[in-house]
Structure 1
Amino acid sequence: MLVAGMSSASADADFQRCLNDLRGEARTRGVPAASFDRFTAGLEPDMGVIELLNHQPEFRTPIWDYLAGLVDDERVADGQAKLAEWRELLDRVEAQYGVERETVVAIWGVESNFGRTFGRREVVQSLATLACIGRRQDFFRGEFLTTLRILEDGHIDPEGFVGSWAGAFGHTQFMPSTFSRIAVDFDGDGRRDLMGSVPDALASTANYLRQSNWRTGEPWGFEVRLPAGMDTSQAGRRNKQAMSAWAAAGVRKVDGSPLPGGAPQAGLLLPAGPQGPAFLVMRNFDALFSYNAAESYALAIAHLSDRLRGEAVFVTPWPTDDPGLSRAERREVQERLLALGYEIGEVDGIIGSNSRAAIRELQPQLGLEADGRAGQRLLQAMRQHTP
């Protein structure tokens, strides 16, 4: 087993020995030695993915920051354009899999910004590194070997095969094992190409949700209003109760109207505590959660799908006096940081470690706490005091 932190020469030698072991395992998975050698030619470990595997975030992203960047007017407009562009395809996907088009397109938008951002790391290199170094090697060995079989079968072009640091790839970011179980050839060319085929990617996403027990025609949930003083100790998406029970407890839809009679059981979701927006969530929310096991992610997909249907933003404000920034506003922060001479890299609307370090240095000069966070308070201060 390789250990993160060992010398570069030692790590590389052990990495090559690990690859040799995997070469034998690959043959049992239907990947000939010649193919293995071709796919791994010149491969070196990428220790950056080990840092990401072990990385502990400097701070937890507040839900209002998370949603502000994922569900903004820019993404809604782009999503509505994609709904129109791919209308006929989405008609067929919806008919075959029973998953509403807005949900599929919402996942597409959040996962790859509608195919604009697949990730920056070579998938084979990332997974080979994770298969040989650090934690969870057994899991990543399986993902690595599955990736080689995907390439051997010709589904994905090895050239430009990039994805996330953990090996997820394509328009809607499938892990290799998920690809093997779920991906479909929807354009009929004999390949399940989630990188180069929008039809394959969107149909595969709908197939994933269907196999996660998506219920056609049911909502994911909706925003509600809680009665004053309500005991919320049993809140949670898993603690589902009949809609009549929530109504008896005094819960109403956010506009004050009664809860729908005869609706499925629902759990009470309080992503920012009882002082923030509250939601009753049903089985389809759980299906979204299964795609990426985070309630904040599922809520982002759910909210974006609603916005694509023309629905409004959440009524209840988040419990903060410093709301999050849209991607356009984040790009403005980065542009202003560059104008001040901070070397933060490209302007991409992603507040990464370089941007946070620059913000942390700048904030005391603006009379703000040096926490590295990019919120509305920072942006307004920069507009007043910087070029």
Structure 2
Amino acid sequence: MSTSDDTERAEQPEQPEHATGGVYTSAGKKFTRDTNYITTRITADGRDGYPVQAGRYRLIAARACPWANRTIIVRRLLGLEDALSIGFPGPTHDERSWTFDLDPGGRDPVLGIERLQDAYFARFPDYPRGITVPAIVDVPTGQVVTNDYAQITLDLSTEWRAYHRPGAPDLYPEEHREEIDAVNRRVFTEVNNGVYRCGFAGSQAAYDRAYERLWSALDWLEERLIDRRYLVGETITEADVRLFTTLVRFDPVYHGHFKCNRSTLREMPALWGYARDLFQTPGFGDTVDFAQIKAHYYVVHRDINPTGIVPAGPDLSGWVSPHGREALGGRPFGDGTPPGRVRPDERVDEAHTPLRLG
């Protein structure tokens, strides 16, 4: 396993005109993502000074953010709730930081801070980059350890094994890692990041190129998923987690807000069936808060939505309609089992999801 997903560092940033939450744009130019993250790792052997320890760290992950949503899903699938606590910032933020406005008094109840930037500054007083989620904070010191989202989920799968629940799936199996990494490279550059490249394009030419790249990749995925239930192998892997968090935001946000509008996800039969299959799998849809997702993109991105109006649609009921993907075979959790019920204090507001959470 590589120490980091190199593809998620492939595009170096231009000088930013402005930066919010780690997303950089440059007027009149193509969108580039700042890929310089805090690469300290939490490992079983503690080689970076941060050994895996139950209860020592806190994951800060906004439900609105697709990169953070990955970590919420993986933590739940692996059953790490007892070992790694979680804090949820609100869906909106200002130019300085994500804030804990969902918590009583506007403070994270474990870290005691109002802004995530406080944890960054506790370790790096002059931290010059965007204050991003997900981030893992060392609770005893209150210092951020890492915000390297590409590596965080891989490490939860491989370095935190001692704390996985019985029946936890192997999301990064040795025999499929080369293929998973190859799929992830294309999905990241062309889809996960591709929708942002469309949305924040600074010129018509940049947008046209981004649009062509995105839809070329989505057509490739549509074809790939016609006769296979999951992206790699017969079970859910890291590759499915990474694609899902973009797909679940596609119709509510990316299709209109980011001008990724050749067609909706619902008009791509294989991808729509695949996305619904995952959404209805425990650990995926029960982490998705559509209201927070829409609030984040439409309220925060005032440069492309000046009014801050959040659209009422789309209709979400289709997410729980039958998908028929079981006919393709595959076993979602391999030899393992699905995660149990979501903890009461981690449940998505039932008004924000079409799932019946029970």
Give your verdict on TM over 0.5.
Answer: no
**Structure index of larger Rg:** 1
> The TM-score by the shorter chain falls in which range?
under 0.3
